[in-house]
Structure 1
Amino acid sequence: NLRYLALESMCLLATSEFSHEAVKKHQETVINALKSERDVSVRQRAVDLLYAMCDRSNAQDIVQ
């Protein structure tokens, strides 16, 4: 599944200090995918990505 692979790649990028901010720009898209996706594996990968991109500046938005 292409969505799963994209989220997995973004998870890897989110752990890098050089690309962390670039991944955070897609936070709303990831949250929307988490809410609307029916595939459990894609939703799990979206949760993993949100965890990887979470920091003090966006923790409140992610938890809501």
Structure 2
Amino acid sequence: MIRLGVDHIKAASIAASSKGYYRLSKTYAAQLALNDSFLSKLGLVSLKDLWIRFHHPR
């Protein structure tokens, strides 16, 4: 997470948490690290973009 832009304190608090990955996904640090540009680089499709293309065709 540090390589993705999260500071050391927030990354350490996520790593030391006993919460599951689903609950940690709602934290600010996880959302900062796993932003839209990172997910698109992995090849994932944005549901928001699909919704817009479906409802507002050009």
With structure 1 as the length reference, what TM-score do the two structures score? Answer: 0.32
From the two aligned structures, give the one with the greater helix fraction: 1
Larger RCO: Structure 1 or Structure 2 (Cα < 8 Å, ≥ 6 residues apart)? Answer: 1
With structure 2 as the length reference, what TM-score do the two structures score? Answer: 0.34
Rg comparison, structure with higher value:
2
